A and B are shown apart, each in its own frame.
Chain A
């Protein structure tokens, strides 16, 4: 069991480019959560997805950010037209059932916008 896999580990993008972050949940987990961690801060919830459904996107910025969890393949967090303020660590967690009691976190993707 490889755990929650995130890639890439590090991503550098120029302002205005698109960033795509991928998350493969643990085997048997059908619930995926994305969190963002700004430097020197705690994690902030972004979005909760199940296969082919967005359940809670209350933490997602209204523009430029989107997430999906298709029937096949990893969950994708997509940031369009990145700005310097998007530089952060993005963590994905998965759980076998709904609710945050059984989270397993991935190692994160560190996005740097130059």
Chain B
């Protein structure tokens, strides 16, 4: 598996339900970020969690980070059709210079 691998690859839920996406990584990180990408569009930064943080909230988003398991989760509560997009985790690897390492993404579909 590669640094920053999301699970599941695809997720389909009904509007109003919660969506949980997971990300696993391999090496030590400075921080982990979640991005959203609508089909054919650019990336939108959602949230950043530092390596010394365990949980962070932003609106309907909740992100957790477990550095002992090298994993993170993104929870979207009360999902809406507009949340339909691909979600990527990206890691700022310790000693990795100035680049982000992205996972392969989770495709979320929220149906009415």
What is the interface of chain A, defined by CB distance below 8 A to chain B?
Answer: 31, 33, 35, 40-45, 48, 55-56, 58-59, 91, 98-101, 103-108, 110
Known A-B contacts A42-B4, A42-B104, A100-B92; A107 and B41 likewise in contact (beta carbons under 8 Å): yes
Are A108 and B42 in contact (CB-based, < 8 A)? yes
Bitwise interface map of B from 54 to 98 toward A, beta carbon under 8 Å scored 1, else 0: 000000000000000000000000000000000010101000011
B97 to chain A, nearest CB (A): 5
- Interface SS, B side: strand
The 9 closest A-B pairs by CB, nearest first: A42-B102, A45-B99, A107-B42, A43-B102, A105-B43, A100-B100, A42-B104, A48-B98, A105-B42
A56 and B43 form a contact (CB under 8 A):
no
Q: A91 with B98: in contact, given A42-B105, A100-B92 (CB under 8 Å)?
A: no
Add 13 more A-B contacts to A43-B43, A56-B98, A99-B98 (CB < 8 A): A35-B100, A42-B104, A43-B100, A44-B102, A48-B98, A56-B97, A91-B43, A100-B33, A100-B98, A101-B30, A105-B43, A105-B45, A107-B41
- Chain A CB within 10 A, most for which of B48, B88, B92, B102: B102
What distance in Å separates the Cβ of B95 from its nearest Cβ neighbour in chain A?
12
Please, which residue of chain A has its CB at the minimum distance from the CB of B93?
A100
> A56 to B93, alpha carbons, bound, how many Å?
15
B20 part of interface (Cβ distance < 8 Å) = no
Task: Judge whether A103 and B45 touch: CB under 8 Å.
Answer: yes
Query: How close is A93's CB to chain B, nearest CB, in angstroms?
Result: 8
A-B contact pairs, 26 of them (CB 8 A): A33-B99, A35-B102, A41-B105, A42-B4, A42-B102, A42-B105, A43-B90, A43-B100, A43-B102, A44-B102, A45-B100, A48-B97, A48-B98, A56-B99, A91-B43, A100-B33, A100-B90, A101-B31, A101-B92, A103-B100, A105-B35, A105-B42, A106-B42, A107-B41, A108-B41, A110-B40
Tell me the B16-65 residues at the A interface (CB within 8 Å).
30-31, 33, 35, 40-45, 48
Once the chains bind, are B88 and A43 in contact (CB under 8 Å)? Answer: yes
